[in-house]
């Protein structure tokens, strides 16, 4: 049986349009926030990521886990791959990664392995964050690279509200669907009875 494609809850948040004249942390995080809204509209967890080098954006991405059926398709992983392709080097030296939520264990490891100069995240994650939330891979004693970190504070409230609203609306939609009556199964057609003897009066 083909499962219906889920419809994402409508996103009530508008995109941001920061001034191009001031390319500070708030500017780049605003672009990451816009990527998170794109994720919401595709029924993905609304997390967005941007990578900047010398004041220019070299990668933009958002979660595509559901659409790609890929548990590694996090915004940070996709952006890191894009950035490496853009500069032709896996070492993302002098690059800053902006992401709307603290990276998970996988993505935190990738930020270190890609030699990013700096990571700036909006919302700390005390459960799964690994750049200061639940733990900090950047503090490993024998790690051969250190990140500059900006943990929280840049559009933190806006990005947190976006995440909270998404999951609240998803839960509400799930509860509403569960409360609906189950569809009535189609009645099976009654098989025809056995054929009777031919009627000689029909001239057959």
CB-based contacts of 103, cutoff 8 Å, min separation 6 = 74, 76, 110, 111, 119, 121, 129, 130, 131
Q: Is 43 helix (H, G, I), strand (E, B) or coil?
A: coil
**Active site positions, annotated:** 76
Q: How far apart are CA 55 and CA 51, in angstroms?
A: 10
Q: What is the DSSP string of 53-103?
A: ETTEEEEEEE--HHHHT-TT--HHHHHHHHHHHHHT-S--TTEEEEEEE--
Per DSSP, what are the bridge partners of residue 98?
A: 50, 120
Structure tokens belonging to residue 80: 């890191």
Which of 147, 108, 145, 140 minimizes the C-alpha distance to 125?
Answer: 108
Chain position carrying tokens 């500017």: 27
Q: Six-digit token pair at 98?
A: 């902006």
């Amino acid at each position: 049986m083909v499962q219906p494609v889920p419809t994402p809850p409508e996103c009530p948040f508008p995109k941001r349009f920061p001034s191009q004249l001031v390319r500070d942390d708030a500017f780049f995080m605003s672009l990451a926030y816009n990527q998170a809204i794109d994720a919401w509209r595709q029924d993905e967890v609304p997390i967005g990521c941007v990578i900047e080098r010398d004041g220019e954006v070299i990668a933009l991405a958002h979660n595509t886990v559901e659409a790609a059926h890929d548990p590694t398709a996090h915004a940070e992983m996709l952006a890191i791959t894009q950035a490496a392709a853009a500069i032709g080097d896996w070492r993302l030296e002098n690059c800053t990664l902006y992401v709307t939520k603290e990276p998970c264990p996988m993505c935190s490891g990738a930020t270190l392995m890609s030699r990013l100069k700096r990571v700036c995240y909006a919302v700390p994650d005390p459960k799964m964050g690994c750049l200061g939330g639940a733990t900090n891979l950047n503090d490993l004693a024998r790690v051969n690279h250190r990140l500059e970190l900006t943990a929280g504070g840049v559009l933190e409230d806006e990005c947190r509200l976006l995440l909270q609203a998404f999951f609240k609306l998803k839960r509400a939609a799930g509860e509403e669907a569960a409360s609906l009556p189950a569809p009535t199964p189609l009645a099976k057609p009654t098989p025809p009875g056995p054929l009777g003897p031919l009627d000689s009066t029909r001239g057959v």
